[in-house]
Structure 1
Amino acid sequence: MKSGYFITFEGPDGAGKTTVINKLVDLLNLGDEVLLTREPGGSKIAEKIREIILDPKNEEMDDKTEALLYAAARAQHLEEVINPALKAGKLVISDRYLDSSLAYQGMGRGLGIDAVYQINQFATDGLLPDLTILLDLKPEEGLKRIGKYRSEDRLELAGLEFHQKVYTGYQEVAKKYPERVKMVDASQSVDQVVADCLQLIKEKLPNLVKGE
């Protein structure tokens, strides 16, 4: 690759982002030219902030504090990890990015999508993904999956009403940025979700897929 490319995966809790990303990477013909990362986290300092945000013991955290902590973790993640990889011409794939804040804090916490976007404009210097794949799954199903497969963090424990707002937030984000954000039905089998995501990537970067 002559220049870097930035792909993010978004979706409600339980949508299967991590599983899908790991399967997709096996199908991409990049070797060490692909960087996998996640948010919140991805670097030492950002991972420390992640622990604070997601710790269920931090019940008293103010919604604005939460939004600012996410933005702070994102700024550090960009500085240490994403920007250097893009500068080196790599494909960067991130499990969550800015749109998570728009959905979770903007809509879920009621801070407003535009207000949270402005906070993150400062944190990211305006860097947006080239492609965002939104794994679309109703919150009821996502929470059911979480309860079945893993422990819940502070946001996962926020309740169905909160997650319904988050889901609405993601729908609004998809409408707001239709050229960048592409939806995939995450209620399908994992193999079908991977195939749909792969097709979206092929449309943008046709030479990335093995055998193509």
Structure 2
Amino acid sequence: MTASTPRGVFITFEGGEGAGKSTQVARLARTLGAHRTVTTTREPGGSTRAEEIRTALLAGVAKPYGPFAEALLFSAARIDHLDRLIRPALASGEVVLCDRFMDSTRAYQGAAGGLDAEAVAALERVVVGPTRPDLTLIFDLDPEIGLARARARAAGQEAQGAQAAPDRFEAEALAFHARLRDAFRAIAQAEPARCVLVDAARDPDAVADAVRAAVAARLPGLLDDTEGRTDAA
């Protein structure tokens, strides 16, 4: 990165199923894209190899082998994602918006899945290293509402002819999703300098306003060139 290249910014979006993360990634990308180069991505996935691992993970291939095996596969996908997409984009001064990252491993395989916190932390140190988010937006939502949204989304996809069976995580019992919510809230409380808890029960416009307010407060200057603009196409 040269002296004239602006510093890259890494923002992650976290939360349970049906919390609306993908919608808000797209909306913030449109807002920021007016004056910065923005890369949107997701986990698991984001690179060709990582997307292949995603398919296996969401199909439940690793579930019979327990949360550690699952976490290892997520880590393998994350290594490729970081090396091939996230780190090069940040080095080029881009804004990277990622739908899920390291906190999902902490919550899904760790707190909700039962994997020892020290094992999760060790994987994170090795895989993520210094490439940590500048800001993490944690979308907080009652899991019953989130799962109902996920089912409605799947029904809409089926109506369009797509197969949309619940994935490996959507199919978990409500108690699992309640643990997830508690885990994400605990992360936000433990790392307030990095994390902002967003009420995801509100309508998408209100959530988008909260996202922009968090970005403006935590990353001064990032939104300056878009003040007064809407993120509508």
Aligned partner letter, 1:159? A
Q: In the TM superposition, what are the counterparts of 1:1-212 in structure 2 within 5 Å?
A: 2-30=6-34, 33-56=37-60, 59-150=63-154, 151=164, 152-203=166-217, 204-208=219-223, 209-211=225-227
Q: Rate the CA distance shift 1:87–1:96 in 2: closer, same or farther, 3 A.
A: same
Task: Measure how far apart 1:211 and its partner are.
Answer: 3.3
Aligned partner letter, 1:42? G
Q: Rate the CA distance shift 1:26–1:107 in 2: closer, same or farther, 3 A.
A: same
Q: Provide the aligned C-alpha RMSD in A.
A: 1.6
- Taking the aligned partners of 2:90 and 2:184, their CA distance within structure 1 comes to 26
Do the aligned residues in 2 keep the contact of 1:106 with 1:114 (CA within 8 Å)?
no
- Taking the aligned partners of 1:62 and 1:114, their CA distance within structure 2 comes to 16
Matched residue SS, 2:226: coil
Matched residue SS, 1:157: coil
Aligned partner letter, 2:108? Y
Aligned partner letter, 1:28? L
Which structure would you say has the larger Rg? 2
TM-score with structure 2 setting the length: 0.86
* Contiguous gaps of at least 5 residues in structure 1: none
Per mean C-alpha deviation after superposition, the further-off stretch among 141-150 and 41-50 is 141-150
- Taking the aligned partners of 1:57 and 1:79, their CA distance within structure 2 comes to 24
- Taking the aligned partners of 1:126 and 1:26, their CA distance within structure 2 comes to 28
- Taking the aligned partners of 1:57 and 1:120, their CA distance within structure 2 comes to 22
Aligned partner letter, 1:206? G
- Taking the aligned partners of 1:66 and 1:45, their CA distance within structure 2 comes to 16
- Taking the aligned partners of 1:116 and 1:207, their CA distance within structure 2 comes to 32
* Contiguous gaps of at least 5 residues in structure 2: 155-163, 229-233
- For residues 14-53 of structure 1, the C-alpha deviation after alignment (integer angstroms, 9 at most, x for no partner) is 0000011112222224456111010000000000110111
